[in-house]
Structure 1
Amino acid sequence: MTLLDYIKPLDKLVLESLAKRCSTTAGQLRQVAYGNRRASASLAIALDRETDGEIRCEMTRPDIDWAYLRNSATTTPEPTAD
C-alpha cells in the first residue's frame, strides 16, 4: 500500500489526527503522498509507527539504508571492561 492509497479514504479529521501524531500537517502528508515533496527521515519513521507498519520507512524514503538501522537496533552492545 502506498501513502496515497492509505490517506485517500481518510476523512479530514482522521487525516489531521494522523498528521498531528506525525508532527506534521495534513497538507504536508498530501504533498509527500502525491510525490511533490520528499518525506524527512523523521516523518518516514513517524508514518511507520503511526500506521502500525502499513506505510514502512522503506516506502517513503527508499534512499535510506533502513535495514542497517533496523539490524543495529536489535543488537546489544558489548560490555566494556573497566
Structure 2
Amino acid sequence: MEKLKTYLAAMPSLERQHFAARCGTTHAFLRNIVYGQRVAGEKLCVAIERESRGAVTRRDLRPTDWREIWPELNAQPEAA
C-alpha cells in the first residue's frame, strides 16, 4: 500500500478528504487500507485508480488477487 500512502501524503488534508469522497469513502477508511487493517473492495479499487488518474492502480491495491478479479488486466503491461 506504499503507493496509496505516498499518493495521499502528498495531498493537503482537505484535498485528501475530497479525494476520498470522490472515491465513495472516507479518508479514515483509506488510512485503514494503507495500514493493512482493511482491504479495498473491487469498486473502491476502480474508483481510486480513476480518481488518482492511474497513480495508484487496482494491481497496487489488490496485489495478491487482482488477476482473478480483473482478468482483462493480464493482457496489459504493468506500469513501472
TM tier, smaller = 0.7 to 0.9
Following TM superposition, the consecutive aligned residue runs of length 4 or more in structure 1 with deviations greater than 2 angstroms are none
Aligned equivalents of 2:66, 2:36: Cα separation in 1:
17
The corresponding residue for 2:66 is 64
Letter in 2 for 1:10: M
The corresponding residue for 1:13 is 14
Greater CA drift, 34-43 or 60-69: 60-69
Deviations 1:9-61 (A, max 9, x none): 22111001100000000100111112221111111100100000000000101
Structure of higher RCO (CA pairs closer than 8 Å, 6+ residues apart): 2
Identity %: 32
> Tell me, which stretches of 5 or more residues in structure 1 are unaligned?
72-82
**Residue correspondence of structure 1 range 42-53 to structure 2 within 5 A:** 42-53=43-54
**TM-score, normalising length: structure 2:** 0.78
> Tell me, which stretches of 5 or more residues in structure 2 are unaligned?
75-80
- CA shift at 1:69, angstroms? 3.0
Aligned equivalents of 1:33, 1:44: Cα separation in 2:
13
Give the paired residue count.
Answer: 72
The corresponding residue for 1:27 is 28
What RMSD, in angstroms, separates the aligned Cα atoms of the two structures?
2.0
More helix by share: 2
